[in-house]
Amino acid sequence: MITFDMLTIFPEIFTSYFQESIINRAQKKKLIKINTHNLRDYAKPGNRHRQVDDRPYGGGPGMILMVEPIAKALQKIKKAKKQKSRIIMLTPAGKQFDQKMAERLSSYDQIILLCGRYEGFDARVEKLVDEKISIGPYVLSGGELPAMILTEAVARHIPGVVGHPDALVEETFSKGRDYVEYPQYTRPEKFKGQKVPKVLLSGNHAEIGKWRQNKSKKR
Ligand code: ADE
């Protein structure tokens, strides 16, 4: 069982997506657990606005997430030392996420995902995290979507999360960068003049296997 802990100022962003489909089933089967934590709960005590951001020293546009609430939250969220835990900062300046990283991260007991907003984090937050990950070479408004993508990609590597046991190994990128899945068809047999390849209707599984292998390489 992996526990995913989201640290964010917008915890509601996660509710709808994680309540659906594969991720919902994985939680019900106790294969994964997802917690969301509101960073504002760790604002300075007595601060009426539960402020977790401030203006940058030296001037400049926008607001910066403060180091203290994040440090306090991470200390609280991180489980006992014997658990294998990983603190990840989502940032466009991180290492680009891929299927290999997803597989590697699936061996942890706890993954803490630190989601940024505004102009970014106080530079001292970097010392509090184990690694920085970018979901792709573009800039988003926050780390919440990247955290959801990472969670799903990692969860899919846990045995039992993906419905059919063969589904994961058959999948596009697990077999390497150049491998692409064979084309699939369902009803109807004919659509706007395009027919389903005859071999798939033949019932000859050896031939179907050969055809699929051939198409996988070609696409
Ligand atoms: N926050 C903003 N953009 C991001 C990206 N591309 N990856 C991860 N976190 C981000």
Query: What is the per-residue pLDDT across 76-108, written as a single tens digit (0 to 9) for each?
Result: 999 887 789 999 999 999 999 999 999 999 999
List the residue whose alpha carbon is closest to atom 2 of ligand 1. Answer: 140
Question: What's residue 170's pLDDT?
Answer: 55
Residue 85: in which H helix or E strand, if any?
A: strand 85-96
pLDDT digits (tens, 9 = 90+) for 121-165: 999 999 999 999 999 999 999 999 999 999 999 999 999 999 766
Q: Which of 140, 145, 149 to mutate to test the pocket of ligand 1 (most atoms within 8 A of CB)?
A: 140
Query: 198-215: buried (b, 16+ CB within 10 Å) or exposed (e) per residue?
Result: eebeeeeeeebeebbeee
| Residue 62, annotated as binding a ligand | no
Q: What does the pLDDT look like over 205-217, one tens digit per residue?
A: 999 999 999 999 7
The residue whose CA is least distant from atom 9 of ligand 1 is: 91
Distance separating alpha carbons of residues 74 and 160, to the nearest angstrom: 29
Q: How far, in Å, are 45, 94, 110 from residue 88 at the CA level?
A: 26, 10, 11
Amino acid at 141: S
Write down the domain spans for the chain. Answer: 2-155
- Give the per-residue pLDDT at 140: 96
- Whether the Cβ atoms of residue 52 and residue 114 lie closer than 8 Å to each other: no
Please give the structure tokens belonging to residue 20.
């659906």
Question: Which tokens is 104 given?
Answer: 């590697």
CB 76 within 8 Å of CB 114: no
* Ligand 1 binding pocket mutation candidate from 121, 135, 138, 151 (most atoms within 8 A of CB): 135
pLDDT per residue over 36-67, tens digit each?
Answer: 999 999 999 999 999 999 999 999 999 999 99
Encoded amino acid at 80, one letter: A
Residue nearest to atom 10 of ligand 1 (CA): 91
| Ligand 1: centre distance to CA 141 (Å) | 8
Q: Which residues contact 5 (CB under 8 A, 6 or more apart)?
A: 35, 36, 37, 77, 110, 111, 112, 113
For the chain, the average pLDDT equals 93
Q: Tell whether omega for the bond before 188 is within 30 degrees of 0, i.e. cis.
A: yes
For the chain, the maximum distance between any two Cα atoms, rounded to a whole number of angstroms, is 73
How far is 161 from 41, CA to CA, in rounded Å? 32
Instruction: Give 177's pLDDT tier (boundaries 50, 70, 90).
Output: very low
Any residues with Cβ below 6 Å from ligand 1, and which? Answer: 90-92, 116, 134-136, 138-140, 143, 146
Residue-level pLDDT at 164 = 67
Third-level CATH fold of 2-155:
Alpha/beta knot (3.40.1280)
Q: What is the pTM of this model?
A: 0.90
Q: Give the H or E element holding residue 134.
A: strand 131-134
113 beta partners: 6, 88
Ligand 1 centroid from CA 189, angstroms? 43
Confidence band of 171 (pLDDT split at 50, 70, 90) = low
Q: At a CB cut-off of 8 Å and minimum separation 6, what does 76 contact?
A: 42
